[in-house]
Amino acid sequence: MIDLYTWPTPNGRKVSILLAELGVDYRVHAVDITRGAQHSETFAALSPTRKIPLLVDRETGLTLSESNAILLYLAEKHRRFLPGQVAARAQAISWLMWQGAALGPMAGQAHVFLHDNPGRAPFAEEKFHATVRKLYAVLDRRLEGRSHVCDSYSIVDMACFPWIARHPRHRVALAEFANVAAWYRRMSQRPAVQAGYHVPFHRDGVPRA
Average pLDDT estimate for 120-129: 96
**Chain-centroid distance, C-alpha 152:** 18
Q: What average pLDDT does the structure give for the chain?
A: 96
Answer for the pair 5, 54: CB distance below 8 angstroms, yes or no. Answer: yes
Answer for the pair 179, 136: CB distance below 8 angstroms, yes or no. Answer: no
Q: Into which CATH architecture does domain 86-190 fall?
A: Up-down Bundle (1.20)
Q: Is 72 helix (H, G, I), strand (E, B) or coil?
A: helix
**Model confidence band, residue 39 (pLDDT cutoffs 50, 70, 90):** very high
Residue 108 has pLDDT above 90, yes or no: yes
State the amino acid at position 204 in one-letter form. Answer: D
Residue 90 has pLDDT above 80, yes or no: yes
pLDDT in tens, 1-20: 999 999 999 999 999 999 99
Average pLDDT estimate for 172-176: 96
Average pLDDT estimate for 55-74: 97
pLDDT in tens, 193-204: 999 999 998 877
Q: Look at residues 24, 6, 3, 23 and name the one whose alpha carbon lies nearest to residue 14.
A: 6
**Chain-centroid distance, C-alpha 9:** 8
**Model confidence band, residue 209 (pLDDT cutoffs 50, 70, 90):** confident
Average pLDDT estimate for 85-103: 98
The two domains 2-80 and 86-190 share their CATH topology (first three levels equal): no
pLDDT in tens, 128-163: 999 999 999 999 999 999 999 999 999 999 999 999
Cβ atoms < 10 Å from Cβ of 68: 20
pLDDT at 203 (0 to 100): 74
Residue 208 has pLDDT above 90, yes or no: no
Percent of the chain with pLDDT over 70: 100
Q: Is 109 helix (H, G, I), strand (E, B) or coil?
A: helix
How far apart CA 91 and CA 209 sit, in angstroms, is 27
Residue 191 has pLDDT above 80, yes or no: yes
pLDDT at 205 (0 to 100): 79
Domain boundaries, the chain: 2-80, 86-190
Alpha helices of the chain — where are they, by DSSP H? 10-22, 41-46, 67-78, 86-98, 104-110, 122-142, 155-164, 167-170, 178-188, 191-197
How far apart CA 179 and CA 5 sit, in angstroms, is 33
Residue 123 has pLDDT above 80, yes or no: yes
Average pLDDT estimate for 46-52: 93
- The better pLDDT of the pair 108, 209 is held by 108
Q: Assign domain 2-80 to a CATH class.
A: alpha beta
